[in-house]
Amino acid sequence: MIKTETITYEGPGGTYEGTISYDDSIEGPRPGVLVCHAWMGQGAFETEQAEKLAALGYVGFALDVYGKGVRASDADRAAELMNQVASDHSVLLARLEYALELLKEHPLVDGDKTGAIGYCFGGKCVLDLARSGAATLGVVSFHGILGAPAGAEEPFINAKVLALHGWDDPLATPEQAREFAEEMTKRGVDWQLHAYGNTVHAFTLPTANDLDHGICYQPDAARRSWQAMENFLEEVFA
């Protein structure tokens, strides 16, 4: 049975609240996967993905980089929160790294087998985590922001990288996809980018339906991207 627990933790700069999901019929340590939230903050969608990861036999940890109770209920507030935390690369990174350490130390997690997935802004989070050289095996970005943080150091990238990308995403244009490919190649990363046609931003989010602004659920891309993630995690945890 899939269990989900709320976890409140002290981290860099404050208190955070996420959820941890696991299958309690599985014994012993297993791979663990961070779920990095979209710009609204950690919520029901991210917890659901952590539960789906638990159903695959992993521990899913839907982390929080905004702070306990700090959630947006509209786009303006979401943009404000996102820009706040993203404006200082080291602040965001410290919160991500802290969550990764928490995951590794969890009694149900095999600390040598971790990964991270993320959505929209959370896609940027997992890519930045990989870019920082974090000791994790693989990261998966779902309709993530692809651009690299300016001025960040460029250590060796340990993680394999999979970007799942809507070709018509206005927040990650074909030109940005190409720059991302060039960046990953230059840095010697084992990377893949899956481009889905007729697909815009936020394609995994069932509630996204603002096609005028290039934000819309696309069930085919949602299903295919999850399948690609499953295959990828199987590979990196093998």
Residue 30 CB-half CA count within 13 A: 20
Query: How far, rounded to the nearest angstrom, does the alpha carbon of residue 6 sit from its chain's CA centroid?
Result: 18
The contact pattern for a copy of itself, residues 149-168, with x = CB under 8 A and - = no contact, is: ------------------xx
Q: Which of residues 7-36 bind a copy of itself (CB under 8 A)?
A: none
Does the protein bind a copy of itself through residue 237 (CB under 8 A)? Answer: no
The contact pattern for a copy of itself, residues 204-223, with x = CB under 8 A and - = no contact, is: ----------------x---
Structural tokens at position 87: 């404006």
| Alpha carbon distance 86, 90 (integer Å) | 9
Binding residues with a copy of itself: total (CB under 8 A): 24
Structural tokens at position 60: 């899913």
Burial label for 188, CB within 10 Å (0-12, 13-18, 19+), is exposed
Would you say 23 or 169 has its CB closer to a copy of itself?
Answer: 169
Q: Which of residues 171-200 bind a copy of itself (CB under 8 A)?
A: 174, 178, 181, 184-185, 188-198
User: What pairs with residue 7 in β-bridges?
Assistant: 18
User: Smallest distance from the beta carbon of 224 to a copy of itself, in angstroms?
Assistant: 7
177 to 151, 191, 212: CA distances (angstroms): 19, 12, 21
Would you say 110 or 230 has its CB closer to a copy of itself?
Answer: 230
Residues engaged in binding a copy of itself (CB under 8 A) = 167-168, 174, 178, 181, 184-185, 188-198, 220, 224, 227-228, 231, 235
